A and B are shown apart, each in its own frame.
Chain A
Amino acid sequence: MAAKGGTQVNFLDAIKQAMFEEMERDPTVVLLGEDVGVYGGAFKTSEGLLAKFGWERVIDTPISESAIIGAACGMSYLGLRPIAEMQFIDFIVCAFNQITNFVAKGHYLWDAPAPMVIRGPAGGGVHGGPFHSANPEMYFVHTPGLKVIYPSTPYDAKGLLKAAIRDNNPVLFFEHKFLYRRIKEDIPEGDYVVPIGKAAVRREGKHLTIVSYAAMMHTSLEAAEELANEGIEAEVIDLRTLLPLDSDAIVESVKKTNRCLVVHEDTKTGGIAGEISAILCERAFGHLDGPLTRVTALDTPVPYAPTLEDYFLPNKEKVVQAARELARY
Chain B
Amino acid sequence: MAKALTKQQHLDLYYYMRLNRAVEDTMVKLFRQNKIVGGLYSSLGQEAVSVGTAFALEKKDWLAPMIRNIGALLVKGVPPRDVFMQHMAKYDSPTKGKDGTSHFGDLDNLHIVSPISMLGDLIPVMTGVAMAGRYLGQKIVAMTWIGDGGSSTGVFHEGLNFAATQKAPFVLVLENNLWAYSTPVKRQVPVENLADRAKAYGVKSFIVDGNDVAAVYTTGKEAVELARNGEGPILIEAKTFRRMGHAQHDPAEYVPPDMKKYWEERDPIARHEKFLFREKLLDEKGKKEIEAKINALLEKERDFAENSPFPPAEFAEHGVYCTGDDCHKIRAKWERPVSEVTPPKSSVSAVWTVQGFGAGKGSGGGSAPIHFGDTEKHEHKEVAAVSNNGAKSAVKKSAKPAKKTAIARKAGR
**Interface-facing stretch out of A7-15, A67-75, A218-226, A273-281:** A67-75
Q: Do B386 and A55 have beta carbons less than 8 Å apart?
A: yes
Q: Do B124 and A67 have beta carbons less than 8 Å apart?
A: yes
Q: B142 to chain A: which residues have CB within 8 Å?
A: 74
Q: A79 to chain B: which residues have CB within 8 Å?
A: 132, 136, 330-333
In whole angstroms, what is the CA distance A203 to B192 when docked?
A: 68
Q: Do B126 and A55 have beta carbons less than 8 Å apart?
A: no
- The closest CB in chain B to the CB of A28 belongs to B332
Given contacts A78-B333, A147-B321, 18 further A-B contacts (CB under 8 A): A24-B343, A50-B350, A52-B346, A53-B343, A54-B345, A54-B348, A66-B159, A67-B159, A70-B128, A73-B124, A75-B135, A97-B121, A98-B121, A102-B118, A110-B99, A110-B103, A112-B107, A113-B330
Q: B113 to chain A: which residues have CB within 8 Å?
A: 74, 77, 112
Q: A75 to chain B: which residues have CB within 8 Å?
A: 128-129, 131-132, 135
Give the residue of B98, B125, B330, B389 whose beta carbon is less than 8 angstroms from that of A102. B125
B-side interface residues, number (CB < 8 Å): 66
Complex interface residues of chain B between 331 and 386 (CB less than 8 A to chain A)? 331-333, 338, 341-343, 345-352, 386
Q: B1 to chain A: which residues have CB within 8 Å?
A: none
- The closest CB in chain A to the CB of B386 belongs to A55
Q: Do A110 and B114 have beta carbons less than 8 Å apart?
A: yes
Q: A60 to chain B: which residues have CB within 8 Å?
A: 388
In whole angstroms, what is the CA distance A54 to B155 when docked?
A: 27
* Chain B residues within 8 Å of A, Cβ to Cβ: 94-95, 98-99, 103-105, 107, 113-114, 116-118, 121, 123-133, 135-136, 138, 142, 154-155, 158-159, 161-162, 165-166, 319-324, 327-328, 330-333, 338, 341-343, 345-352, 386-390
CB B257 to nearest CB in A, in angstroms, measures 37
Q: Mark A92-132, 1 if CB is under 8 A from B, else 0.
A: 00000110011001111111110100000000000000000
In whole angstroms, what is the CA distance A109 to B104 when docked?
A: 8
Given contacts A55-B390, A108-B320, A37 and B124 within 8 Å (CB-CB):
no
In whole angstroms, what is the CA distance A98 to B114 when docked?
A: 13
- The closest CB in chain A to the CB of B154 belongs to A66
Q: B154 to chain A: which residues have CB within 8 Å?
A: 66
Provide 14 A-B residue pairs closer than 8 Å at the C-beta atoms, listed in order of the A residue: A51-B350, A55-B388, A62-B161, A64-B158, A70-B127, A74-B124, A74-B126, A75-B129, A75-B131, A78-B333, A79-B332, A102-B118, A109-B114, A144-B320
Q: Do B124 and A51 have beta carbons less than 8 Å apart?
A: no
- Whether A189 sits at the interface, judged by CB under 8 Å, is no
In whole angstroms, what is the CA distance A55 to B385 when docked?
A: 12
- The closest CB in chain B to the CB of A23 belongs to B342
Q: B323 to chain A: which residues have CB within 8 Å?
A: 168
Q: B388 to chain A: which residues have CB within 8 Å?
A: 55, 60
Q: Do A52 and B127 have beta carbons less than 8 Å apart?
A: no
- Whether A145 sits at the interface, judged by CB under 8 Å, is yes
Given contacts A105-B116, A108-B320, A168-B322, A74 and B125 within 8 Å (CB-CB):
yes
- The closest CB in chain A to the CB of B325 belongs to A168
Q: Do B159 and A145 have beta carbons less than 8 Å apart?
A: no
- Whether A56 sits at the interface, judged by CB under 8 Å, is yes
Q: Do B346 and A67 have beta carbons less than 8 Å apart?
A: no
In whole angstroms, what is the CA distance A77 to B130 when docked?
A: 11
Give the residue of A53, A101, A168 whose beta carbon is less than 8 angstroms from that of B327. A168
CB B289 to nearest CB in A, in angstroms, measures 36
- The closest CB in chain A to the CB of B129 belongs to A74
Give the residue of A64, A70, A102 whose beta carbon is less than 8 angstroms from that of B161. A64
- Whether A30 sits at the interface, judged by CB under 8 Å, is yes
CB B234 to nearest CB in A, in angstroms, measures 17
Give the residue of A37, A51, A57, A76 whose beta carbon is less than 8 angstroms from that of B341. A57
Q: Do A70 and B123 have beta carbons less than 8 Å apart?
A: yes
In whole angstroms, what is the CA distance A180 to B324 when docked?
A: 31
CB A102 to nearest CB in B, in angstroms, measures 5
CB B118 to nearest CB in A, in angstroms, measures 5
Q: B345 to chain A: which residues have CB within 8 Å?
A: 54
- Whether A253 sits at the interface, judged by CB under 8 Å, is no
In whole angstroms, what is the CA distance A89 to B412 when docked?
A: 39
- Whether A27 sits at the interface, judged by CB under 8 Å, is yes
Q: B328 to chain A: which residues have CB within 8 Å?
A: 111, 113, 168
CB B94 to nearest CB in A, in angstroms, measures 7
Q: Do B332 and A108 have beta carbons less than 8 Å apart?
A: no
- Which 10 A/B pairs are nearest by Cβ-Cβ distance? A74-B128, A70-B124, A79-B332, A71-B128, A54-B346, A56-B390, A64-B158, A78-B132, A168-B322, A67-B162
In whole angstroms, what is the CA distance A69 to B123 when docked?
A: 11
In whole angstroms, what is the CA distance A30 to B128 when docked?
A: 12
Give the residue of A27, A55, A67, A109 whose beta carbon is less than 8 angstroms from that of B348. A55
Q: A66 to chain B: which residues have CB within 8 Å?
A: 121, 124, 154-155, 158-159
- The closest CB in chain B to the CB of A49 belongs to B350
- The closest CB in chain A to the CB of B168 belongs to A71
In whole angstroms, what is the CA distance A112 to B107 when docked?
A: 7
CB B82 to nearest CB in A, in angstroms, measures 12
Q: B117 to chain A: which residues have CB within 8 Å?
A: 101
